[in-house]
């Protein structure tokens, strides 16, 4: 199984992105349920859109941001979204106690990947490489 990190999910959403096109081409060779996102990435992206909505100064900006938020929801409704469950929680606590210098959200995504033995697709190989046993790949480069 391959898990898409938040950055890879963002690239997929950009229709005009060369990197997104490259990623879509590679994912076309993976069975539908062989690729997933995490509830943690959903949280990260929702927080971003909600922050944009809060900063919107005009009704036109609000309309645009709500449309993007709805598109985001639609994207997640079409893919497998993995839980931050008991197994991931145990991995997360283990990672936290090891004092690895990786952000909390990235650590949670890594914990889900470790709990499932999945490969994490990410451009953030520098941080994720600090986590022993985590399988990572960057399908953009």
Query: Domains in the chain, ordered, with CATH?
Result: 2-47+79-137 (3.40.50.1010)
What percent of the chain clears pLDDT 90, i.e. is strictly above it? 72
Q: Is the pLDDT of residue 21 over 90?
A: no
Query: Who wins on pLDDT, 14 or 61?
Result: 61
Q: What is the pTM of this model?
A: 0.90
Per-residue pLDDT band for 133 (boundaries 50, 70, 90) equals very high
C-alpha of 58 from chain center = 30
Model pLDDT, residue 14: 79
Q: From CA 82, how far away is CA 12, in angstroms rounded?
A: 18
Q: Is the pLDDT of residue 32 over 80?
A: no
CA nearest to 2, candidates 95, 127, 118: 118
Model pLDDT, residue 37: 96
List own/partner pairs for 96-100 with CB under 8 A and 24 or more apart: 100/130, 100/131
pLDDT tens figures, 33-88 = 899 999 999 999 999 989 999 999 999 999 999 998 998 898 899 899 999 999 99
Q: Is the pLDDT of residue 15 over 80?
A: no
């Amino acid at each position: 199984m391959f898990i898409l990190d938040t950055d890879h999910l963002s690239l997929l959403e950009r229709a005009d992105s060369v990197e997104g096109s490259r990623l879509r081409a590679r994912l076309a060779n993976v069975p539908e349920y062989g690729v997933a996102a995490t509830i943690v990435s959903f949280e990260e992206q929702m927080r971003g859109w909600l922050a944009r909505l809060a900063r919107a100064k005009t009704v036109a900006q609000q309309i645009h941001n709500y449309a993007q938020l709805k598109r985001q929801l639609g994207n997640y409704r079409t893919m497998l979204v993995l839980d931050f469950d008991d197994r991931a929680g145990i991995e997360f606590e283990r990672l936290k106690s090891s004092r690895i210098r990786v952000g909390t959200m990235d650590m949670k995504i890594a914990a889900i990947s470790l709990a499932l033995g999945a490969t994490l697709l990410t451009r953030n190989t520098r941080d994720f490489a600090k986590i022993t046993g985590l399988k990572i790949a960057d399908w953009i480069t």
